[in-house]
Structure 1
């Protein structure tokens, strides 16, 4: 089962050519990490006329940017009122407004640079897995509407018509949102950044950072890059390096299973409008279709770890509970990634030295926030205006018991996925 590996690698039509760092050089800005955040920063900086070097330890979109569900959501995982309560009225509203416009920013960038990433702007559905989940969505809808978000609460009948499943009690529709092929979008950002003049080097793991006289020296592949500004955009895939403490977050696994393409008669019934979906369950799951009509089922948990058999069994039972007539449809792709979760589920921009930001902690919402915050981080550093960022810059962030909490999340997913699924 699921021998095809990462579907997004298999189906990516965007291409970019890059070589490892092979000589000492200098730049106005060094970006570490070639994901949504780092490449958005590199693209914006290069378009502003700055010299940019982007260093990636593996390949473009190696981390979460090439492994996620591909939902281009507005806002954060948290309800708006919780964001405001955590950050304060002014800061919280400012971040929510910026991220509410996040999907428009992503789709505009796709159009502007001709990125071939199967963009579908049909909205997303937050699915109520229980009556309590529907009540939570009703409250979230009121909060969003109060801030001007065009959210609409759907009843069970309309949700069934849109999903093709009777398993849900209702849904929250966000028409601003949509879906993409995430690895292709990230690769397209890399192509656009290089076309604008950024220098991208893959297979170039950074091993050390030094700062002297307000300038940074970045060591990679036995060579040095000197720069006046630095963005660390490694998120959940950070590697230890000398001269910098690792960004503080909790790693949470998320796995996906993609079927073979649905038969035409079923494709017309399952998610006929093309929305991407996730649910209100504590151990969250997601469903969507790709361009070829594969049903992609995702869930919290590491399908490459010790609980692999349990997570795989859950995927089969979950598919059966949602769509009984798809119960025996083969899975042809399986892959997993890691989410950088913060305790308050709000992204962080940490200033860890002169003109140096670490950007991380999207808690499973990386596409639009990564694009928005990465772009703003480049502007803030190059113009000297931290206010260009949609959230406050902090000088420190800590997370207690990170390994224990990561193990707890995985244990919760394993236990939940071992339980029988209720048929829809």
Structure 2
């Protein structure tokens, strides 16, 4: 059972093969990172007639793009008003608008390029656990409504009817959202970018970056990529010469587990509306179906060492708690990865030098924001969008202090919390 890409590797569409970078390659723009941000930027640039080359250290979708739960969400975990407090009204409202429209960008790209990725745009349910959770979704709904966004507040009875679960005190329905097969989406973006003219190289780690005259040189094991512009989109999986971007984030482990396909009568009894749900618990649960009727649950935690049995046992208990009407379930796949957390929990753009930009910091919402930020970076590079029109100011690199200690503490802490929840019943 794969511990990294699990179900997604098993069910993804076959990816287009790409070569390893070898020898000297010249381009107008060099992109590092084969996730949503880098691929979205490569597609946008290639469609604009820019000579763009992208390198990926492993394979397309190796990082968070191939490991997440597959929810295409609008906005971030932090509420809209928090974004405004951090960035001010000028940038804050612009970022809120960008992220609110990001799911539409994802689903439009899927439709326009014929990407086969199990896309379902039926919305998601943000489900309240207890009185505190109810207050949270009510406030989130109020903040979206104040900005003219229609989100539907569901009472507990309707929430139970939609989800098939008695666990929740209410829910907030966001029709902008949906689900995809995340690895298939990444592979589809790569194929679309290649058809548009982008050159893509895999198994090509950026070992060293060098500024020479007015051009950047990116050195790999077997080759060198030279370009006038450099875009780094490695996120929290950055390797080699991209360590500075990695050092700006704290990795929070996140796992998923998938059941075998449920029998028709079981499937009809849970997630009745077909919509994925995310709850408001401190240790969140995200639950959805894939197209084959597998029930997938995601939460914080890493499936290694003692964490593996703890988190998988917790996931089985959570599904039983949410859906007592179906038989105890086993898992056919379980896998984990990491969410890159920034200090302010917001995405951003960072200057790495002259004509060198980094994007990232999606804080567990990588699909829609990553796609949107990749497109924004491409438009900025070609001059279609000026710096003053971006949804975030372009900052300077930061380093998170005591990063390794904090990551170890987080991994151990979520395991203890899942275990304690079991002990307390």
TM-score where L is the length of structure 2 = 0.96
Q: Is 1:112 the counterpart of 2:112 in the alignment?
A: yes
Residue in structure 1 matched with residue 344 of structure 2 by the alignment: 344
Map 1:112-131 to 2 at 5 A.
Answer: 112-131=112-131
Map 1:131-150 to 2 at 5 A.
Answer: 131-150=131-150
Residue in structure 2 matched with residue 208 of structure 1 by the alignment: 208
Range with greater deviation from structure 2 (108-117 or 241-250): 241-250
The 8 Å contact of residues 56 and 203 in structure 2, kept in 1 or not, is answered as: yes
Shift of 1:246: 4.2
Shift of 1:340: 0.4
The 8 Å contact of residues 120 and 274 in structure 1, kept in 2 or not, is answered as: no
Residue in structure 2 matched with residue 332 of structure 1 by the alignment: 332
Residue in structure 2 matched with residue 16 of structure 1 by the alignment: 16
Number of equivalent positions: 424
Map 1:8-407 to 2 at 5 A.
Answer: 8-241=8-241, 246-383=246-383, 385-387=386-388, 389-407=390-408
Q: Distance in 1 between matches of 2:131 and 2:242?
A: 50
Residue in structure 2 matched with residue 416 of structure 1 by the alignment: 417
The 8 Å contact of residues 247 and 360 in structure 1, kept in 2 or not, is answered as: no
Alpha-carbon deviations, 1:57-107, whole Å to 9, x = none? 100000000000111100111111111111101110000001100111000
**Alignment root-mean-square deviation, CA:** 2.0
Shift of 1:245: 6.3
Shift of 1:405: 2.2
The 8 Å contact of residues 248 and 397 in structure 2, kept in 1 or not, is answered as: no
SS at match of 1:115: coil
Q: Distance in 2 between matches of 1:401 and 1:348?
A: 21
Q: Distance in 1 between matches of 2:326 and 2:174?
A: 27
The 8 Å contact of residues 60 and 187 in structure 2, kept in 1 or not, is answered as: yes
Shift of 1:379: 1.3
The 8 Å contact of residues 379 and 388 in structure 1, kept in 2 or not, is answered as: no
Shift of 1:274: 1.9
SS at match of 1:241: helix
Q: Distance in 2 between matches of 1:5 and 1:87?
A: 35
The 8 Å contact of residues 2 and 331 in structure 1, kept in 2 or not, is answered as: no
Range with greater deviation from structure 2 (158-167 or 411-420): 411-420
The 8 Å contact of residues 321 and 423 in structure 1, kept in 2 or not, is answered as: no
Shift of 1:268: 1.4
Q: Distance in 2 between matches of 1:400 and 1:285?
A: 29
SS at match of 2:240: coil
TM-score where L is the length of structure 1 = 0.96
SS at match of 2:208: strand
